[in-house]
Amino acid sequence: MIKNVTLMKIAILTLTKNGQSLALKISKKLENDPTVIKMDIFHKNVRKTLNDIFSGYDCILGIMATGIMVRNVCSLIKSKTEDPAVLVMDEKGKHVISLLSGHLGGGNEFTLKIAQITGADPVITSATDVNGKMGVDSMARKYHLFTDDPGKIMPINLALVNDDVVELYLPSSLQFIYTDDLVRRSYTRSSSPSKLSLTKTKDLEELVSPDNEKFPLPNNVEVSHGRNKLVLRPKKLVVGLGSRKGVTAESVLGAVKQALNILDIPLERIDLLATAEPKKNENGMVETARELGLPLRIIPLIDLKDFNHSDISESSMVREVFGVAGVCEPAALIGAGRGSKLILRKTVFNKVTVAVAVSKNP
């Protein structure tokens, strides 16, 4: 499995019988992938379908000529922070091309994934990728960082491609990012943030500089090249947990590690563990949170009953016992806050259920 492909809602568009057959094969191979929450196939009526679904899916794969997709999608494009990943593939499955939103949208990663499961040749043309660099937008996607200044992405990526020195400041909580080989090959580590990063943080704590000026304690990543300085703020990552009664801490911790391994996310990146009220006295969960140094949020049953989200897969057993749709998925989504989405749907690991959600904004 190609890791770190969190494209939860996927649409495949086809025009021919061969294309439709290939779409069904792809859908079949992805049906047990826990990072895929929804997979729909649409046949013919390309323009109308794209108009209807463009903003509702994370990735759109067109099994058709590139020109057809380009002509029909160009009027729908807004920005790299909003557009879904768009891929095209020939109906014989020989080539799959990352066409739009290759970095922030995950199109390049999904191209590699489709190539792996179909045997197609992946076609990726992003300059940072072909030069063996991690674009700043790729780093933002991989480590779930948010930027409100996307206009700085292109000049910084251009500097990376030109082998210029691009500095990367990491706060203490995110130092693990520099253990990523591709990050180390792409960026020069900086020991301190600029005032730009300090003034954009939302942390309430303060640090005192040597000249007694007070600035907020930064929890932001800063990437800089000359006058181009881009601040990346971490989104909230929450692991939702459910389990059989009496599960051990070893089982819970093992389940969390396996889930994060699928997503290629280090344990240090997680902000919160969450579970439902009936599980509040499960020692395995309490001990796991203590060992990881993370808070364990207990979601009241009344909040779970009132919570509705399109990503949740209902469990009839949980509904019968507790009167709610589920435990780990809604706990993760509630913990991550309004507008959050699942990046790993409910998955069972040795009597422990795990789901992972990410907030919309920092």
Q: What is the pLDDT of residue 213?
A: 40
Residue spans in the chain of domains classed CATH 3.40.50.11220:
9-125
pLDDT of residue 322: 77
Q: What pLDDT, in 10s, does the model give residues 85-94?
A: 999 999 999 9
> Has residue 215 got a pLDDT over 70?
no
CB 198 within 8 A of CB 146: no
pLDDT per position as a tens digit, 48-107: 999 999 999 999 999 999 999 999 999 999 998 999 999 999 999 999 999 999 999 999
Mean pLDDT of the chain: 90
Specify whether domain 237-358 bears CATH 3.90.1150.10: no
The per-residue pLDDT for 325 is 81
In this prediction, residues 111-132 reach a mean pLDDT of 97
- Residue 148 banded pLDDT, cuts 50, 70, 90: confident
Class of domain 9-125 as given by CATH: alpha beta
Within 10 Å of residue 87's Cβ, how many Cβ atoms?
Answer: 27
pLDDT of residue 191: 84
- The pLDDT score that the predictor gives to residue 196 is 56
Full DSSP string of 287-318: HHHHHHT--EEEEPHHHHHH---TTPPP-HHH
**Residue 220 Cα distances to 56, 93, 175, 204, 338, angstroms:** 30, 42, 11, 13, 21
Query: What pLDDT score does 199 carry?
Result: 55
Counting residues of the chain whose pLDDT is more than 90, the rounded percentage is 80
Least trusted range by pLDDT, from 19-28, 36-45, 215-224: 215-224
Q: Could you give phi then psi for residue 234, rounded to 5 degrees?
A: -70, 130
Every domain range in the chain assigned CATH 3.30.420.180: 237-358
- pTM comes to 0.89
State residue 209's pLDDT score.
38
- Is it the case that residue 205 has pLDDT exceeding 50? no
pLDDT higher than 90, residue 200? no
pLDDT of residue 195: 60
Report the pLDDT value the prediction gives residue 208, as an integer from 0 to 100.
39
Whether residue 19 contacts residue 46, with contact meaning beta carbons closer than 8 Å, is answered with: no
Lowest-pLDDT choice from 10-14, 34-38, 46-50, 120-124: 34-38
| pLDDT given at position 193 | 79
Structure tokens at 241: 């947990």
241-276 pLDDT, tens per residue? Answer: 999 899 999 999 999 999 999 999 999 999 999 999
> Which burial class, exposed, middle or buried, applies to 84 when counting CB atoms under 10 A from its CB (0-12, 13-18, 19+)?
buried
Instruction: State residue 7's pLDDT score.
Output: 57
- Under DSSP, the state recorded for 202 is -
Q: What is the pLDDT of residues 297-341, one digit of tens each?
A: 999 999 998 898 888 888 777 777 777 888 999 999 999 999 999
**Contact partners, residue 28, CB within 8 Å, separation at least 6:** none
